[in-house]
Amino acid sequence: MNVVTPFEGIGASVRRKEDVRFLSGRGQYTDDINRPGQAHAWILRSQHAHARIQGIDTAAAAAMPGVVAIYTSADLAAIGGLPCGWQIHNKDGSPMAEPKHPVLAEGKVRHVGDPIAVVIAETRAQARDAAEAIIVDFEVLPAVSQTTAALAADAPRVHDDVAGNLCYDWHIGDKGAVDAAFAAAAHRVVFETTNQRLVPNAMEPRCAVGDYDTTTGEHTLFTTSQNPHVIRLLMGAFVLQIPEAKLRVVAPDVGGGFGSKIYHYAEEAIVTWAAAKLGRAVKWTADRTEAFMSDAHGRDHVTRAELALDKEGTFLGLRVLTHANMGAYLSTFAPCVPTYLYATLLAGVYSTPAIYAEVKAVFTHTVPVDAYRGAGRPEATYLLERLVDVAAKQCGFDRVKLRRRNFIATDAFPYQTPVALQYDSGDYFSTLDQALKTADWAGFEARRAEARMRGKLRGIGISTYLEACGIAPSAVVGSLGARAGLYEVGVIRVHPTGSVTVLTGAHSHGQGHETTFAQLVADKLGVPIANVDIVHGDTAKVPFGMGTYGSRSLAVGGSAMDKAMDKIIAKAKRIAAHLMEASVEDVEFERGTFRVAGTDKTKTLTDVSLAAYVPHNYPIDEIEPGLEETAFYDPKNFTYPGGCHIAEVEIEMETGRVSMVNFTAVDDVGRVINPMIVEGQVQGGVAQGIGQALLEACVYDQDGQLMSGSMMDYTMPRADDLAPVSVATHTTLCTHNPLGVKGCGEVGAIGSPPAVINAVVDALRDYGVEHIEMPATAPKIWSIIHGKSV
């Protein structure tokens, strides 16, 4: 019988169902999958940022041991380019420039890592050896890697048919209103900054295994993806022209994504195509060096912002000009990141009445840039929260009071911003107050003085932020240029003996869905989580779903499950009414038990499910047998998590090294299903945010060489770079989804970078610095303290 004790439903910190598998080495990641007769692919990539390919000589390579085949773009003439899933329109209404993104380079390479040829051999080592023997005749061309330089009149062109390397020139907001606000302002504050390029670096490198059944003509792709259905749609319909019914995409256990595994990548198409061509499975696994030059990067904005304030500090207007680097080609969702996931967030938590933002997206000879944890929202938050601190300093306001003065009032929801979004709920005052108290903001000066006695510079910084996630109403995103809907699917299958299988289009790659989603079922249907199995990541099992990104799994995917459970309950009540010889209106249901209201007549969910599948005594003319329901849920709005992050740092004067000493996060993520998992998500997000603030930078030189192309050159946060993070939540419910949830996957990475930089600048307040660009590395800070450059 299904009895839930102890409580495993909404709000319980249930230990994760998936952990034993991962802790004992029994996870099934893509690279753990080996198909009978499998061959191995190695991809020859460009070492140049920009070059014309005069010729490719594969003769020597083809003769090497174990080589099965070598393919270049000439062999792929019949297949399409990699599609872009979001079309932005220019200010004048014309569509963005959308140059072809070939699977293998056609005539030219446009970034270091651009794939040129693929070698397929019996072993990975043989494929790699042979790739090294391919001779490519390059004519090296001048390249441009920096965002603003790409727009210069004499800049090398990335695509011959894209003048000025301009992908789009877009805007949002009311320019006239902003101009008027500035004309009337007492204070005008200008802030310029670069939000540096980052490499997502999920610990599992990407991998793809293509397989083909010569008997049935069925293609299978196992891939490290956050959204297998999206890959099936994009690759099947646009690249390889394989009908959905003949293409199965499986994303098994995936070792972290952070956005980088949303996109459809060339290697997926290559192994799927080659497997069919050769009639045998083909596996490709990236090594880390390849990941650096082929996984989509994140961020890379250059921005100038101006804030207009009145005498008392009320924000009157905000004007923003951002240059966003798209890299050499448009990755799947790249165009929407600096527009609808960034500029629409520029109101933040403030009631700024007039906002105008222009975004120019440019092509450069670099790896494509797309969504990375937070995607646009960290860039917006960083800009605003640094700008507010700069304004406080320049105009002589207290930085906390200035924020509080401009917060959207708690009774002003739903709140329409001047940049399209309508926030449904929030309480920025409470998250601020709670964070100030937890971080002992009031007692900070004593800690600063104490640190000074130890020869350390101590600083404290704050960030009050908001983000939009749970993407998003299909009709809305459609009107903004999305070439997909953004609903989610959930299937609830109650088995004859009362255990439950849930099929979801969301995908778990660390988020713990197998646990959280089971808790939803435990809470509503009263089935113990041990009897609830969550199935995801396989297009052959799950109906079409959109996958996991933008903190949408629970808000959209969970809501779909909730809706499907409503259908289950409605049907089960009718069956229970029959079994109890009552009228359906009189049947109540709570956590696994049906009761005739006001009586002690009950039936369990198991009684009902058994009757549904063994319909001997059953109203077969009125109710179909079986107990399985599908729901598609299309969200009504974004959800709007927000909160307050406070960072406390100490700087060692001799070296300039910054140490995190305290970090406080108070987040409103809506209703919390599993507090332990929420805390873990925030901790992980904050670690990535601190990484951006202090350590990480993807560096290209002027000529487009990738200077930070390995983990020896790109600084990943390690355990001793970080400090304990205190995580708390303060909940206001989302008003438009049935669970009241908002999402917690990205808040950490969104709120934290400006808190850390604000703290670093505060620590250096005696040195006359107004701003320090991320990452705030020891050499930069040492130069400030010692008044000379390193």
Which string of x and - marks every residue 122-141 that binds other proteins (by CB under 8 A)? ---x----------------
Nearest to 662, CA basis, from 722, 707, 614, 621: 722
Q: Which of residues 16 and 197 has its CB atom nearest to other proteins in the complex?
A: 16
* 683 near other proteins, judged by CB under 8 A: yes
Closer residue to ligand FES in complex, CB, 153/712: 712
CA gap 743, 469 in Å, rounded = 7
606 Cα distance to chain centroid: 39
Question: Would you say 688 or 737 has its CB closer to ligand FES?
Answer: 688
Q: Comparing C-alpha atoms, which of 633, 665, 668, 669 is closest to residue 648?
A: 665
Closer to other proteins by Cβ: residue 678 or 760: 678
Q: Supply 471's token pair.
A: 């993407």
Residue 656 as a binder of ligand FES (CB under 6 A): the answer is no
What is the secondary structure of 696-724 as a DSSP string? ----B-TT--BSS-STTTS----GGG---
Closest to 41 in 3D by CA, of 149, 115, 95, 113: 115
Nearest to 760 by CA among 769, 749, 750: 769
Instruction: Please report how close the Cβ of residue 684 comes to ligand FES at its closest, in angstroms.
Output: 8
687 binds, among ligand FES, other proteins, none (CB under 5 to 8 A by kind): other proteins
Hey, what are 600's tokens? 């002690």
State yes or no: residue 510 binds ligand FES (CB under 6 A): yes
| Residue 720 found at the interface with other proteins (CB under 8 A) | yes
Distances (CA, A) of 394 to 181, 309, 407, 438, 771: 19, 11, 20, 28, 12
Cis ω for the linkage preceding 738 (within 30 of 0) = no
Residue 666 has phi, psi (to 5 degrees) of -120, 110
Report the nearest approach of ligand FES to the CB of residue 711 (Å): 8
Q: How far, in Å, CA of 600 to CA of 175, rounded?
A: 67
Cα–Cα distance between 594 and 150 in angstroms, integer? 66
> Which residue in the set 77, 78, 203, 453 belongs to the binding site for ligand FES (CB under 6 A)?
203
Instruction: Quote the longest CA-to-CA distance of the chain.
Output: 88
> Is the link from the previous residue into 142 a cis peptide, with omega within 30 of 0?
no
**Minimum CB separation from ligand FES for residue 516, in Å?**
16
Amino acid occupying residue 441: W
Q: Report if residue 259 touches other proteins, rule: CB under 8 A.
A: no
74 contact choice in ligand FES, other proteins, none (CB below 5 to 8 Å, kind-dependent): none
Quick one: tokens of 262? 């949303």
Q: Is 34 in the site for other proteins (CB under 8 A)?
A: yes
Residue from 149, 676, 728, 733 in contact with other proteins (CB under 8 A): 676
From candidates 99, 313, 510, 537, binder to other proteins by CB under 8 A: 510
Q: Give yes or no for residue 113 binding ligand FES (CB under 6 A).
A: no
DSSP helix, strand, coil percent of the chain (3-state; round to 5) = 30, 25, 45
- Residue 27 touches ligand FES, criterion: CB under 6 A: no
Q: How many CA atoms lie within 13 A of 556 on its CB side?
A: 30
Write down the least CB distance from residue 509 to ligand FES, Å.
8
Backbone CA torsion sign across 778, 782, 788, 790: negative
Residue 253 binding target from ligand FES, other proteins, none, CB below 5 to 8 Å by type: other proteins
Q: Could you say which residues in the range 251-290 bind ligand FES, by CB under 6 A?
A: 255-256
- We find the least distance from the C-beta atom of residue 712 to ligand FES, in angstroms, to be 11
* 255 belongs to the binding site for other proteins (CB under 8 A): yes
DSSP 636-675: SS-B--EEEEEEEEEEETTT--EEEEEEEEEEE-BS-S-H
Residue 557 touches ligand FES, criterion: CB under 6 A: no
Residues that bind ligand FES (rule: CB under 6 A) add up to a total of 4
In terms of CB distance, is 237 or 711 closer to ligand FES? 711
* Residue 189 site contact among ligand FES, other proteins, none (CB < 5 to 8 Å, cut-off depends on kind): none
**CB of 683: closest distance to ligand FES in angstroms?**
11
Residue 728's DSSP bridge partners are 666
Residues in touch with ligand FES (CB under 6 A):
203, 255-256, 510
Residues in touch with other proteins (CB under 8 A):
15-16, 18-29, 31-32, 34, 125, 201-205, 253-256, 258, 287-289, 509-512, 676-677, 679-681, 683-688, 710-712, 716-720, 722, 724-725, 748
